[in-house]
Amino acid sequence: MKNYDLVIVGGGPAGLAAAVSARDNGIESILIIERDKELGGILNQCIHNGFGLHTFKEELTGPEYAARFAAQVYERNIEYKLNTMVMDINDDKVVTAMNREDGMFQIQAKAVILAMGCRERSRGALNIPGYRPAGIYSAGTAQRLVNMEGFMPGKKCVILGSGDIGLIMARRMTLEGAKVEVVAELMPYSGGLKRNIVQCLDDFGIPLKLSHTVIDIEGKERVEAITIAEVGPDRKPIPGTEIRYECDTLLLSCGLLPENELSRSAGVNLSPITSGPVVNDSLETNIDGIFACGNVLHVHDLVDYVSQEATTAGKNAANYIKNGKNAEAKEVKIYPEGGVRYTVPATIRPSEMDDTLTVRFRVADVYKNHAICTYFDNELISKRKRPVMAPGEMEQVILTKAKLAEYPELDRITITLEEA
């Protein structure tokens, strides 16, 4: 068995930033394990621009953003293995992995950072009725085919789901010569960023139909037609509102799911809301020395936030490797209430936390003129007005160590939405 201080599972934006941060915090023995043939993860297929405004103060494409982080990894001579699949992680932090050259091998790590990312919800998971022909792709699969391999998956498409990948692919397919008939969204609001609706749909005259879903897929061999219908408040199709589109392709952009099969095998507790690990202020899971960051922890809108989060995870893992864990530290739970669906982290140890801590969350619905309120026990600590909040856009609250120090007896923190 080989030994490393830190094993990072996944060489996408989260894994790379975590590795750089751990090295900069003094950890020499680091191994990044990446299943694909290059570092950068899904960013390599996100060839559109809009990345890096926070991190690099300029607008980059996905591959450019990935290349900058990869360069930092190369500069630091951080070890990585490509084309390597992690098969198992156990609660002793033994990582079992496999590739063509090394075969199956095991690594004893002192700490592990989970950075496996997420996957897309499939047609099967969406329970869309109809036939099962070729021509039904998750938007990400289509994106890989078009952007990495140069193959067009269809000529005429309907897109279900207005997540960002779906919007981006609507434009991408159009630019490569396909016709996008419509983007249908089950919810009464879009799951993607507003700018993407403008520059990916409006620019090309592609209609967005909110409160609509696919109710039938025709075609036994290849998709021949897709029927969508309006849905009521119960999200059930309303008879009589059907619209049928002749097309050869259905792209699905209906949400992302953190990919936590390995976390589960290690005994990591998962949140039923995020499907990601439940973590404390160090982004550490219930298993000592196993940390998580990026889309495996909770699905982000912006890669810049992934990088920030991963930098924190890398630093905390380094600290754990060097100093161990203070098992005595008092832990305070954060309660998400009143439209706040969850928080990351879920608990805070005031004695251990950094001077400031960003608590990220999503809201359950569209809220206009509401405020994000933070309570320490029953005392209102902060109230920040937000003109509009929507489930598609992540929100945050910043807590300071100084403020928490004023409440040594603190029992619970509540983050909630209130009318402004």
Partner 1 sequence: MMYDVAIIGAGVIGSAIARELSKYDVKCCVIEREEDVCCGTSKANSAIIHAGFDAKPGTLKAKLNVRGNEMMDQLSKDLDIPFKRNGSLVVCTKNQDPAGLEELLEKAKANGVPRCRILDRDELIAMEPNLSDDVVAALHAPTGAIVCPFHMTMAFAENAFENGVEFFLNTNVEKIEKAECGYRIITNKETFETKVVVNAAGVYSDEFNNQVSDRKLQIIARKGEYMLLDKQAGCHVNQTIFQLPSKMGKGVLVSPTVHGNLLVGPTAADIENKEGTDTTQKYLDSLGPLSALSVKNVPLRQVITSFAGLRAHEVDGDFVIGEAEDAPGFFNAAGIESPGLSSAPAIGEYLGDMIAEKLALVKKENFKATRKGILNPEHLTMEERNALIKENPAYGNIICRCEMISEGEILDAIHRPLGARSLDGVKRRTRAGMGRCQAGFCSPRTMEILAREVPMEMNEITKNGGKSTYIVGTNKNI
Partner 2 sequence: MEKRDLICIGCPLGCPLTVTIENGEVTEVKGNTCPKGDAYARKEVTNPTRIVTSTVVVEGGVAPMVSCKTAADIPKGKIFDVTDALKDVVAKAPVAIGDVLLADVAGTGVDIVATKNVEAI
Could you tell me if residue 339 is left (phi over 0), alpha (psi between -120 and 50 degrees) or otherwise beta?
left
End-to-end, the C-alpha distance of the chain in Å comes to: 58
Q: Is 147 in the site for partner 2 (CB under 8 A)?
A: yes
Which residue shows structure tokens 């981006």?
Answer: 168
Q: Is 408 in the site for partner 1 (CB under 8 A)?
A: no
**b/e for 173-185, b at 16 or more Cβ within 10 A?**
bbeeebebbbbbb
Q: Which one of 43-51, 88-96, 221-229, 397-405 is the stretch in contact with partner 2 (CB under 8 A)?
A: 43-51
How far is C-alpha 407 from the chain's CA centre? 33
Residues numbered 177 to 206 that lie near partner 1 (CB under 8 A) are 177-178
Chosen from partner 1, partner 2, none, partner binding at 59 (C-beta under 5 to 8 Å by type): partner 2
The least distance separating partner 2 from the CB of residue 398, rounded to whole angstroms, comes to: 17
Q: Is 176 in the site for partner 2 (CB under 8 A)?
A: yes
Q: Is 238 in the site for partner 1 (CB under 8 A)?
A: no
Distance from C-alpha of 99 to C-alpha of 39, rounded to nearest angstrom: 16
Chosen from partner 1, partner 2, none, partner binding at 47 (C-beta under 5 to 8 Å by type): partner 2
What's the CA dihedral at 346, 347, 350, 353 to 10 degrees? -50
Q: Is 402 exposed, middle or buried (0-12, 13-18, 19+ CB in 10 A)?
A: exposed
Distance from C-alpha of 310 to C-alpha of 302, rounded to nearest angstrom: 13
Measuring CA to CA, how many Å separate 2 from each of 48, 96, 106, 160, 251?
40, 10, 6, 46, 43
Measuring CA to CA, how many Å separate 58 from each of 51, 65, 66, 154?
8, 10, 14, 33
Q: Is 377 in the site for partner 2 (CB under 8 A)?
A: no
Chosen from partner 2, partner 1, none, partner binding at 104 (C-beta under 5 to 8 Å by type): partner 1
Instruction: Please report how the helices 13-24 and 303-323 are oriented relative to each other, as an axis angle in degrees rounded to 10.
Output: 40
The least distance separating partner 2 from the CB of residue 94, rounded to whole angstroms, comes to: 33
The least distance separating partner 1 from the CB of residue 292, rounded to whole angstroms, comes to: 18
Query: In the set 29, 141, 265, 382, which binds partner 1 (CB under 8 A)?
Result: 141
Q: Is 36 in the site for partner 2 (CB under 8 A)?
A: no
Chosen from partner 1, partner 2, none, partner binding at 67 (C-beta under 5 to 8 Å by type): partner 2
The DSSP annotation for 320-343 comes to HHHH---TT---EEEEE-TTB---
Q: Is 404 in the site for partner 1 (CB under 8 A)?
A: no
Q: Is 335 in the site for partner 1 (CB under 8 A)?
A: no
Chosen from partner 2, partner 1, none, partner binding at 178 (C-beta under 5 to 8 Å by type): partner 1
Q: Is 215 in the site for partner 1 (CB under 8 A)?
A: yes
Q: Is 210 in the site for partner 1 (CB under 8 A)?
A: no
Chosen from partner 2, partner 1, none, partner binding at 322 (C-beta under 5 to 8 Å by type): none
| List of residues contacting partner 2 (CB under 8 A) | 44, 47-50, 53, 59-64, 67, 146-150, 175-176, 193-195, 197-199, 203, 301-302
| List of residues contacting partner 1 (CB under 8 A) | 35, 83, 85, 87, 98-104, 106, 119-120, 122-125, 127, 129-135, 137-138, 140-141, 144-146, 149-155, 176-178, 215-217, 220-222, 237, 248, 261, 264
